[in-house]
Chains A and B, each alone.
Chain A
């Protein structure tokens, strides 16, 4: 979902909703821009006055007097412009802030499925860079898009004031410039998008070459990579050159139109002056207004140039904002569980839209307080997917999932989150300290609670050995602790929250056998009446479970205790034999 088509009207829609609270400030910006544009439009008229009534008549006092007025007008103009910038910056940045907040809040409602569909990196870009783009265009719009029409219209009025017949020239000149710009920009529009795509491709290839350097070298694919890169690089140069050449047309085209209009004003204006229909000063003023009108036309077109990128960004933001979570919260959600700790999965299935085979189909799983239920199966048999259905990381596409005798879709999210402690396969820790991570599910936990949880998770020793103990810093993702330590901290984090149900998704894989055994013994001791569901690779981890569910290809192929399954399930026996090298012989 990286290059999605630009969404029609997304930018307007986005801005309309988010600009609404700042109507007052925008009105002030418009007023200030009006004032400062009016001031700058006044200058040529005053200059014309200097020429008509000062220069021509040789009146030095009048020249100085008009000069003083011009100075005052200039001051008004700068103050107005500065104040306009102030309100414009405030509004644009506030709009950026608000959009960012809506995107972030929306993503918080997403289930793991929507997040996966967008991809975390893409969502990060949408929340940061894309919002930045929209914010920048808002700033530009408030700073100059407002002035362009004012200046254009004001210029026309002033020009008419100087000489009406001469103003007929505007009817030819302005559309000519607009047309020239339009033609160039139309050629550029699609190219600009291509350039970004090519840059992204080049960067992706480089990133891959760096992350996969060992594989590239091991397979002796340097030449292949070089070719791939040369291709992408050449393509990038091609489109960038296309844009560059079109850009090169811009300046000459503008210049041509402007100077030709000047010449035309001189020619026709000269005839008006000669006929005595227009004072000579008006000729200068007219030239000036013409320039201002053309400049505002240019400003408007350059604004348009900025729009495509912002439009794409707005489309990408809009996509996030208009994506509804697949895990919806019921109205009048249930907050009281009749039977806490009961897990009942009945006939549940999950299928990605459009997939040939479902990931899970017709799966039953029952777990009760005080019992340990294990789920085993090969890679890709659907164990993790099954576990993810319980806390509604995504919803089953068939069948039902009940927690505490209530369908999870009817449960209040907080109630559901509070009753389940989940230890994921790849534990993630947030940056902060060990304590802040452990308290994640239970901010009120005391240090004693934390140490107790660490004790059970077999993590006390290494945490105690750290110079800062519980306050030892943790890097983003838990990068500064080893895989095994991360797993144990994640287990402790779940323990601190004291939920009714514990879900361990292959959470002991990075532990060595003796730690694994000690941890399980401690868990068995401490989690007396909690419900425990374990997904595991190692049979030794789950052979004492009260109930073992064997998954294969997304279906349940056996349920029972270890010894029952050894008799009844071929798949289970195969798994056991694949690991049991001492006992089975």
Chain B
């Protein structure tokens, strides 16, 4: 919320126009909303008039010959008809509005979710996760909330205002002018209050941010606070921020809370004015009592939409700011479209070549430079090198997560850029260092890569990858729900689950990007055995920082600054005495004498 407060949207009308355009398909419904609104207001404004007429009948009748109850009855019957009709219209209007607003929100969410699938990975690398997330969640929520409010209230309020003004002028132009004088007064008052409240709101949001930051840190680092016995200090800092928030929130609430009494003061002033002036005019015979009565009713109804509209401006502003951010996401450049006639890949054998491949985000920062490589089906390729050497980039290019800048990559002789991405990726099972699990059960997470899988196969994959063992220590076993912080599953255990996932998917090729970095060495050895059977006859790319795990690879690539600096098997590379030999010596600096 605080981001909307501070970020001044620069293209309000543009976003508004786009939102309106998005409502295009709902044109018929919108016409219905408008018609029903019009019907509602038109019928509704006649009611005070009829009641005024009844008042006159009673007033004159009571002073003279007695009240004509037939006339009163007829008038009231008309009033009842008008009331029933306007209620019906109001109901229809409300229903149609809800449909329009919800459909629009649905479409906005649908488009954003689709868009996420079409954005290139660079987009996610460049913008902070929280930022993207906030656009697709908070901002869309905010837009749909604003839409609902605006559609249902703004239109009705405007129409009501118009109807009431017309009726007031019709009854008495002089008194209508008197009543209208209060509008600028009301505007000046709300403006003045808003202006005074604004800095308090800003402080309130700023202190809220600070307080929430402290809470977040203290809760995330809770164990540390306990370990160092610093609870008292944590509470003291909290109290300090909490007190500041209290002061700011109290001021903001008070200043903005004044709006309502102020507005009702203005309303009451008008009421008094109309009562006095109307009374004088009735007394002098220039106006009937019924008209004054109707007029008082209109004045009463007149203040209501104004207050509503005043309240709306905030919602509209914040909603439009959010809409702009959502549109910003929807307009982001997408990944290269799939080829018109993609070359079918089918199930590949696993021959991979990189031909003079270069890749860079920005022209001056090459990530992969003129890299060539040829892998025979079934080979295991290990990639080693320092952080930032381009190891992950290399496999990401093979997965077509990024589009290469120069050269080509082929799979079984087919340029992967000419195949459909899903066919390339469908052939490759990938296990990442970043262990992503979704909010579902452990069983569901293992089965993520495949449709319709039996529990037996899940458990089988879990056994092969040593997941089964720890799953049984959990209260709910395979039905344990992985929550966002995955509190009862350790990093290593999460990694094992992602390996089980790849195991179950049973792909033609494998990419293991530091797949066992959080697993202990003994489990890793057991995993290696499981995986070597998995790797059998499968082309595999393995990125590992523990050299012990890749000694039996067919080809070891040593990378540095986006280039392959050495290539060969373990023994050849050791014998060569180059980079690899040095890395190896560093890792096994202290031979263990058994």
Can you list the 5 inter-chain pairs with the closest CB atoms, starting with the nearest?
A244-B98, A248-B94, A417-B229, A81-B261, A67-B276
What residues of A have a CB within 8 angstroms of the CB of B225 in the complex? 108
Residue pair B62, A273 in contact (C-beta under 8 Å): yes
Structural contact, A266 and B51, CB atoms closer than 8 A: yes
> Could you tell me if A380 and B586 are in contact, using CB atoms closer than 8 angstroms?
no
Beyond A108-B231, A210-B124, is A220–B223 a contact (Cβ under 8 Å)?
Answer: no
For residue A583, CB closer than 8 A to chain B, the reply is yes
Q: Residues of A contacting B106 with CB < 8 Å? A: 233-234, 236-237
Which of A108, A237, A280, A391 is close to B105, meaning CB atoms less than 8 Å apart?
A237
Contact between A430 and B257 (Cβ–Cβ < 8 Å)?
A: no
Most buried by B among A59, A416, A513: A513
Contact status B246-A219, CB under 8 Å: no
Quick check: B220 and A428 within 8 Å, CB to CB? yes
Within 8 A of B (CB), among A370-397: 377-380, 384, 391-393
Tell me if B35 counts as interface (CB < 8 A to partner A): no
A230 touches B485 (CB 8 A): no
Q: With a CB–CB cut-off of 8 A, which chain B residues contact A50?
A: 275-276, 279
Query: Given A220-B425, A280-B58, is A540 in contact with B590 using a C-beta cutoff of 8 Å?
Result: yes
Q: Please provide the chain A residues from 215 to 232 with a CB less than 8 Å away from any CB of chain B in the complex.
A: 215-222, 224-226, 229-230
Q: Which B residues are CB-close (under 8 A) to A225?
A: 117
Contact in complex: A513, B586 (CB < 8 Å): yes
- Please tell me which stretch of A4-12, A14-22, A196-204, A308-316 contacts chain B, meaning at least 4 of its Cβ atoms lie within 8 angstroms of it: A196-204
Q: Which of A71, A74, A117 has its CB near the most chain B CB atoms (within 10 A)?
A: A74
A15 to B410, CA, bound (A): 68
Cβ of A304 under 8 Å from chain B? no
User: What sequence of 0s and 1s flags, for each residue 261-302 of chain A, a beta carbon within 8 Å of any chain B beta carbon?
Assistant: 011001101110110000010011000000100000000000
Contact B279 A51 (CB under 8 A): yes
For the complex, what is the distance from the CA of A441 to the CA of B218, rounded to whole Å? 15
B-chain residues with CB within 8 Å of residue A426 when the two chains form the complex: 491
Contacts of A355 in B (CB 8 A): 473-475
A280 touching B594, Cβ below 8 Å: no
Query: Of all chain A residues, which has the CB nearest B467?
Result: A380
Is there an interface contact between A210 and B136, defined as CB atoms closer than 8 Å? yes
Interface locus among A91-99, A331-339, A398-406, A461-469: A91-99
Chain A contact residue count (CB 8 A cutoff): 175
A512 at the interface (CB under 8 A from B): yes
Contact of A218 among B110, B276, B430 (CB under 8 A): B430
- State the CA gap A43–B279 with chains docked (Å): 14
Given A240-B102, A244-B148, A251-B90; A219-B505 close (CB under 8 Å): yes
Q: Are B592 and A86 in contact (CB under 8 A)?
A: no
**A161 contacts chain B at the CB level, 8 A cutoff:** no
**How close is B459's CB to chain A, nearest CB, in angstroms?**
14
Q: Is B159 an interface residue (CB 8 A)?
A: no
Decide if A54 touches B279 in the complex (CB within 8 Å): yes
- Is the C-beta of B31 less than 8 angstroms from some C-beta in chain A? no
Contacts of B272 in A (CB 8 A): 43, 67, 70-71, 74
Is A193's beta carbon under 8 Å from chain B?
A: no
Closest CB-CB distance, B397 to chain A, in whole Å? Answer: 13
Partner of B448, one of A63, A119, A219, A353: A219
B97 with A248: CB separation less than 8 A: yes
B487 touches A263 (CB 8 A): no
Interface of B is mostly: helix
Question: With contacts A116-B488, A270-B69, A417-B229 known, what are 20 further pairs, Cβ within 8 A?
Answer: A50-B275, A55-B289, A74-B272, A82-B258, A104-B218, A116-B487, A206-B136, A208-B438, A215-B430, A241-B99, A244-B148, A245-B95, A267-B76, A270-B72, A352-B473, A379-B518, A440-B224, A477-B217, A537-B520, A537-B521
A127 an interface residue at 8 Å Cβ cutoff?
Answer: yes
The answer to whether A97 touches B59 (Cβ under 8 A) is no
Residues of B within 8 A of A358 (CB): 473
Q: Give complex CA distance A88, B258 in Å.
A: 11
- Within the complex, the shortest CB–CB distance from A32 to chain B, in Å, comes to 11
Chain B residues numbered 207-233 whose CB sits less than 8 Å from any CB in chain A: 208, 211-213, 215-231
A107 interface residue, CB < 8 Å from B?
Answer: yes
A179 to chain B, nearest CB (A): 16
17 A–B contacts, CB within 8 A, in A order: A74-B268, A78-B261, A93-B249, A112-B223, A124-B212, A206-B113, A217-B401, A219-B501, A244-B148, A252-B87, A271-B69, A352-B475, A417-B227, A566-B594, A575-B520, A576-B594, A583-B594
Alpha-carbon distance between A74 and B162 when the two chains are bound, in angstroms? 27
A444 within 8 A of B: no
Tell me if B436 counts as interface (CB < 8 A to partner A): yes
A446 within 8 A of B: no
Kindly state whether residue B536 has any CB partner on chain A within 8 Å.
no
Known: A214-B401, A219-B449, A579-B521. A252 touches B94 (CB 8 A): yes
Interface pair A244/B101, CB less than 8 Å apart: yes
CB-contacts of B110-167 with A (<8 A): 110, 112-114, 116-117, 121, 124, 129, 132-133, 136-137, 141, 144, 148, 152
Minimum CB–CB distance from B203 to chain A (whole Å) comes to 13
Residue of A nearest to B77 (CB): A263
Q: Are B242 and A101 within 8 A (Cβ)?
A: yes
Residues of chain B lying within 8 A (CB to CB) of residue A109 = 231
Q: In the complex the two chains form, is A584's CB within 8 Å of B594's CB?
A: yes
The answer to whether B229 touches A63 (Cβ under 8 A) is no
Q: Which residues of B contact A101 (CB under 8 A)?
A: 235, 238-239, 242
CB B287 to nearest CB in A, in angstroms, measures 10
CB-based nearest B residue for A58: B283
Q: Do A476 and B79 touch across chains, with their CB atoms under 8 A apart?
A: no
For residue B111, give the distance in angstroms from its CB to the closest CB of chain A: 11
B399 touches A217 (CB 8 A): yes
Pair B490/A199 contact, Cβ less than 8 Å: no
Rounded to whole Å, the gap between the CB of B58 and the closest CB of chain A is 5
**B 343-400 contacts with A by CB, 8 A:** 399
**What B residues does A266 contact at CB under 8 A?**
51, 54-55, 58, 72, 76
A212 to B235, alpha carbons, bound, how many Å?
36
A384 to B136, CA, bound (A): 38
Q: Which of A417-447 contact B (CB under 8 A)?
A: 417-418, 420, 422, 424, 426, 428, 430-431, 440-441
Point out the residues of chain A lying under 8 angstroms from B129, CB to CB.
Answer: 210-211
A449 to chain B, nearest CB (A): 15
Q: Contacts A108-B225, A255-B83; is A217 near B425 (CB within 8 Å)? A: yes
Chain A residue with Cβ nearest B424: A220
On whether the beta carbons of B94 and A249 are closer than 8 Å, the reply is yes
Cβ–Cβ contact B426 & A220, under 8 A: yes
Chain A residues in 8 Å Cβ range of B582: none
Interface residues of A in 338-359 (CB under 8 A from B): 352-359
A330 at the interface (CB under 8 A from B): no
B488 and A352 contacting across the interface, CB-CB below 8 Å = yes
Cα–Cα, bound, A221→B492 (Å): 24
Name which of A216, A230, A252, A571 has the most chain B CB atoms within 10 A of its CB: A252
What distance in Å separates the Cβ of A171 from its nearest Cβ neighbour in chain B?
A: 21
Most chain-A CB neighbours within 10 Å: which of B47, B63, B117, B275?
B275
In the complex, whether B593 has a CB less than 8 A from a CB of chain A is yes
Chain B residues with CB under 8 Å of A538's CB are: 521
Known A-B contacts A63-B276, A108-B225, A121-B484; the reply to A554 vs B473 at CB < 8 A is yes
Contacts of A497 in B (CB 8 A): 228
Residue of B nearest to A204 (CB): B439
Q: Does A143 contact B (CB under 8 A)?
A: yes
A539 interface residue, CB < 8 Å from B? yes
Whether the Cβ atoms of B472 and A356 lie closer than 8 Å is: yes
Contacts of B333 in A (CB 8 A): none
Question: Assuming A241-B99, A255-B83, A576-B592, is B220 touching A120 (CB within 8 A)?
Answer: yes
- Considering residues B109, B491, B493, B501, which has the most beta carbons from chain A within 10 angstroms of its beta carbon? B109
